[in-house]
């Protein structure tokens, strides 16, 4: 028993794979997420099923979960903030908890909304400078939407310019450190809720740990095995 427990502590999920025939055990120590999201994906739910089964067979083990976030999460939150801003400007703000959907840079009212949001966050001179920068980089004039014609749905054919304007605003959109921490914690909590709810792992064997610093790789949460302490 001592040897088995030692193996689990030093190489935890590899040992679990050997003991219980789990799939790729080296991948069981992390749960991946889509950028900016905390919803469990089906393949990751299957991994948690394997982890729960292993915990059921080894009652001396407990599991800690540490949420994390990556650079891709920051980018996803920046993109979502602009989608929400455009939807709000167009009077199409989605219900709470629902995504607004992608920005249609070929739509006349959306093009006007993008210019208005840029001006609210910057200035007329900053917009003129961006137009000049775009014209210089691609070697042809920018065709901006006509404010009057936009009211009747006449869009600029220069959707590429508005896509570039959207990207510039996304890149400069602020993302609070607290928002990233909340995302990381939400990921850890979704894992704990899945294990406790769907797989009936006792709460006393589960632990939420503080979120880690920004990761260099894909968005994920870490699973950490420990030895249960006697009460």
Least confident of 1-10, 113-122, 195-204, 215-224: 1-10
Transcribe the chain into DSSP letters: -HHHHHHHHHSHHHHHHHHH--SSGGGTTEEE--TT--PPPHHHHHHHHHHHHHHHH-TTEEEEEE---BHHHHHHHHHHHHHHHHHHHTT-PPPTT-------TTSHHHHHHHHHHHHHHS-HHHHHHHHHHHHHHHTS---PPPHHHHTTT---S-HHHHHHHHHHHHHH----HHHHHHHHHHHHHHHHHHHHHTS---GGGEEEEPPPPPBSSSSEEEEEEEEPPP-
pLDDT tens string 193-208: 999 999 999 999 999 9
The pLDDT assigned to 231 comes to 43
25 pLDDT tier (thresholds 50, 70, 90):
low
The pLDDT assigned to 79 comes to 95
Q: What is the value of pTM for the model shown?
A: 0.83
């Amino acid at each position: 028993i001592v040897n088995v427990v030692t193996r689990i502590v030093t190489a935890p999920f590899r040992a679990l794979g050997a003991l219980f025939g789990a799939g790729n055990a080296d991948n069981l120590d992390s749960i991946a997420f889509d950028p900016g999201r905390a919803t469990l994906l089906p393949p990751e739910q299957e991994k948690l099923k394997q982890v729960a089964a292993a915990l059921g067979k080894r009652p001396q083990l407990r599991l800690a979960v540490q949420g994390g976030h990556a650079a891709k999460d920051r980018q996803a939150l920046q993109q979502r903030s602009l989608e929400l801003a455009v939807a709000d400007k167009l009077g199409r703000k989605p219900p709470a908890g629902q995504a607004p959907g992608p920005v249609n840079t070929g739509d006349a009212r959306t093009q006007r909304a993008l210019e208005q949001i840029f001006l609210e966050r910057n200035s007329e001179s900053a917009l003129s400078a961006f137009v000049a920068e775009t014209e210089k980089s691609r070697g042809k004039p920018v065709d901006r939407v006509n404010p009057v014609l936009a009211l009747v749905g006449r869009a600029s054919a220069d959707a590429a310019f508005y896509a570039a304007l959207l990207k510039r605003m996304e890149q400069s959109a602020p993302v609070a450190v607290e928002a990233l921490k909340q995302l990381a914690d939400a990921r850890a909590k979704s894992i704990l809720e899945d294990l406790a709810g769907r797989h009936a792992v006792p709460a006393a064997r589960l632990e939420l740990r503080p979120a880690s610093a920004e990761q260099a790789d894909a968005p994920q949460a870490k699973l950490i095995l420990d030895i249960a302490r006697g009460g």
